[in-house]
Structure formats: C-alpha cells, structure tokens
Structure 1
Amino acid sequence: MPWLGLIDKIDRSDLYVVLDTVQFERRGWQNRNHIAGDGGTQLLTVPVIQAGRHEVILDKRIDNTQKWRSKHLRAILDHSYRGTPYLDEYRERISRIYEQRWDDLAELSIATTRLTLEAFGIDTPVVRASRLGEFPGRKSELIAQVCAAAGADTLISGSGARDYLDTGLLKEHGVEVEWQGFEHPVYRQHHRGADGFISHLAAIDLLFNAGPDSLGLLRGARRPL
C-alpha cells in the first residue's frame, strides 16, 4: 500500500515509472507499510522468499506459505479502520486485492498503487521500467537512462535524494530535476480522536477518513514546485 508522498508525486507527474529493475531492499519499504493501529501504528508486511542477496524487485516472489492476505484484510477492515466514515466506499475494492493470490511482489505493488490512484481520482499512466528496456547504468546514470527511455525531460524527485542525485549528470542527458518538497496534509483521523495526528501512513488512511475530499486535501497541502 503506497504512502501519501508517492501518491502526491504521481499526481504531479505525466508518467509514473515503477523502478522494478533495481535491487530489492531488505527491511525497506518495498514490501511493507504502516496503517493505523491501537495506540499508534501497525506495520503490514508482505512476506517474501529470500532466494539471494542481490535479487532485483521484478524477480521478488511472495511467500504464500504464510497467511498474510487474511491477516492484512482483517487488520484493515475489522480493526484499524472499523467505523471510519468512508470504509464502506472502498471495502469491496480493497477486499478484491486480498482475495486474489499474488506471487509477484512488483505486480502486487502496482495493483495496490493503481487501486489507490483510482480511488483518489488520479489518472497518471503507470509503466514498469523493465518494460522500457535494459539499463546497465547505476545510481544517477540509471535514472538518466530510464528518463531517456520514457521520453522524459523532467524528473520529479523527493527531497531526500538531494544528497545523492547527480543533477548535473541528468542535465547532461537533457533532464531537469524538480524537487517535490512534499507537505503532509493534516486531517481528522477517526481512530485517533483527540490523541493527535499520525502522519506517513499508507494513503488509504486519508481515503477512509476523508473519502471524496482526499485529493483536495492532498493538493491543498503542497508547496509549488
């Protein structure tokens, strides 16, 4: 389940490229995210099969010997978001995701992202980098190659990449960089009451609490690029 920062970035973009050709990051965020939980947050993790240390995302397989789908669905529908104003609006779509068997982590990630984009009313096209070609470069060179394959002249990047993204190299390839500068919207969270706001949860937290107002709240919080 994608977080709001990614949904904001996709909404600002003409095309979203899923970088599935890079190494899977253990204990990272490629197979897990936080939702609301009792007294704070709950981490939902999709278990994966560890076949090697250098597996790329597109080859990552899900460990379906574990009953993660039913566990996640109960956590979302019966515990964390029970009673939220707009849960029933999205219940069927969320349930369909978890009722289907998934073997490929990238396919599951794209499916949950598409579901979230549709619910927000965002129609930015989504494409996998592995479908655009082969990219032998590393780090900023890799990003430049992907941009070239996608026909992009601008990359929207999260501010956290300022320390390592080589903007000069990208410019040499005809690609300008715009920094996202994501600002997290603050909204009423049904599960929190007067206990204070929790940010950086999966984007479904906003959907279940704000429904049709979600996209307006997301856009209203952002700073201009």
Structure 2
Amino acid sequence: MDNSHSASALLSTAYLPSIEYIRAIASSDRPVIEKYENYQKQSYRNRCYIYSSAGVLPLVIPICREDKNDEDTRRIDKVKIDYSKKWQKQHWRAIFSAYNSSPFFCYYKDEIYPFYTEEEPLLFNYNNRLLNTILDMIGIPSVPEFTQNYIKDFEGTDYRNLFHPKREVLFNNKYGQYHQVFAHKYGFIPNLSIIDLLFNEGPNSITFFF
C-alpha cells in the first residue's frame, strides 16, 4: 500500500539538514522522505553548510562511483558512502572547530560524535539515523516515514526540488535570527545546517519551529 496519499510533505534525504528542511518536517502532519529517487549531485543529499571562522563551510560526504550497468546503484537508498576518504575525521574536526565555543556544543556533542566514528554503508540510512537523532534532541515529535515507490506527482507540498543549495530560502522570513559564534565577523547567516541552531540555541531551538 502506498503510504504517500495521506502525507502532507515530501522531502529528499539530506545530510545534517538545513533549518528550513527541519521546519518543513516540524510543520507537517505526516512528512515522508523519498526513498526511490535517483541520487543528484550538488544537492543537500550528501552535503551541508556550517558557520566556520572563515565563513560558510560546505561539508560533503563522498560517495562510491555508481555502476553504469546497474541502475539500482543510482537510486538514493542504494548509494554507498566512500570511507576510503577520511571524511568523518575531517567533518568532525570542522564541526568541533566551528562550534566548540558555542553555548551548547558540549551538551550535544556526545550524541552526534558516534556518526563520525562508526561506518554506516548506505548514505540514505546514515542520513536518516542522524536526522532522527537530531529531531529527538530538538524535541520535534514528527518522525518521517519513507515512500514505498517513486512518487512522480505529489498532492501535498513537494520539497524535493525546492530545497537546494542554489535556490532561495523558502522560510527565511519565518524564523528570527539567533546568536552565531562568528556573527561578529560576517553577520548573521540564515538557513545553515540544523546543528548551527542546535549548538547555539540548545533547548530553545524548538521555539523556532512552533
């Protein structure tokens, strides 16, 4: 049975999602993540953006090359993470450097750190385990389900192509500014990875969504 008909929001998987992505989940009665689409380069599926001492810093999870003779390797739930690149160490070092002095980094770091030491083979599974951990830390009760087949036409709000690093922020005027560690250097930067809000606002993060 297709579980998408009663869903109100359809999203792609995302690595340490943006604030607007989390807002879409929080404001949806029944969010669903597309499990059967093809992987797309240069998207949030394997990248996020944090606020470093040098400004906005992208963090990209490397993926294994797809087998051109096997269409399944292009499907997002089949995409494998490339652990031959030492990306976990690099990402954690960048996150630590960016947020170690933030008010709530020490409060949450132990829950996130295992994602940078343990190896989950599939990108889709990695993203969703991390997403559920973050939703729980914020206190957002909505846990996304997954599509049971590819959804071409969606009756609710389809965010799959709306949330993209090169597109304008949808909810930019929907939530206020908050303290950022390096705001004194570059000003407030909206819609970074959810960890930017979480590490800076802590338990107060949930008020930005409800």
Rounded Cα–Cα distance in structure 2 between residues aligned with 1:199 and 1:217: 12
- The one-letter code of the counterpart of 1:199 is P
* Superposed displacement of residue 160, structure 1: 7.1
Q: 1:184 to 1:157 in 2, by over 3 A?
A: farther
Counterpart for residue 77 of structure 2: 58
- Matched residues in 2 for 1:76 and 1:159: separation? 26
Q: Aligned residues, how many?
A: 183
User: Over aligned residues, Cα RMSD in angstroms?
Assistant: 2.2
Which range moves more in the overlay, 4-13 or 45-54? 45-54
Spell out, residue by residue over 1:31-60, the C-alpha distance to the aligned partner (whole angstroms, 9 max, x if none). Answer: 001011223111101000121466110110
Matches within 5 A, 1:166-177: none
Separation in structure 1 between the aligned mates of residue 204 and residue 45 of structure 2, nearest angstrom? 27
- 1:98 is displaced (CA, Å) by 1.4
Q: Could you tell me how far apart the structure 2 residues matched to 1:40 and 1:85 are? A: 19
Task: Provide the secondary structure at the position in 1 that maps to 2:145.
Answer: strand
How is 1:55-134 mapped onto 2 (pairs within 5 angstroms)? 55-77=74-96, 79-129=97-147, 132=148, 134=149
Relative to structure 1, is the Cα distance of residues 185 and 84 closer, same or farther in structure 2, using a 3 angstrom cutoff? same
What runs of 5+ residues in structure 1 fail to find an aligned partner? Answer: 145-154, 162-180, 220-225
Higher helix share: 1
The normalised TM-score by structure 2 is: 0.79
2-side partners of 1:95 and 1:159: how far apart? 28
* Residue 195 (structure 1) shift: 3.5
Q: Secondary structure at the match of 2:184?
A: coil
CA contact (8 A) 1:9 1:156 kept: no
TM-score by length of 1: 0.74
Letter of the aligned partner of 1:188 in structure 2?
H
Shift of 1:184: 4.2
What's 2:57 paired with?
42
Q: What is the CA–CA distance in structure 2 between the aligned matches of 1:24 and 1:76, rounded to whole Å? A: 25
Runs of 4+ in 1 over 3 A off after TM superposition: 156-161
2:144 and 2:115 mapped to 1: Cα distance? 18
**Distance across 2 between alignment mates of 1:107 and 1:99:** 15
Whichever of the two has the greater Rg, that structure is: 1
Distance (Å, rounded) in 2 between the aligned partners of 1:88 and 1:74: 14
Q: Which structure is richer in relative contact order (CA contacts within 8 A, separation 6 or more)? A: 2
> Does the Cα contact within 8 Å between 1:2 and 1:33 map onto a contact in 2?
yes
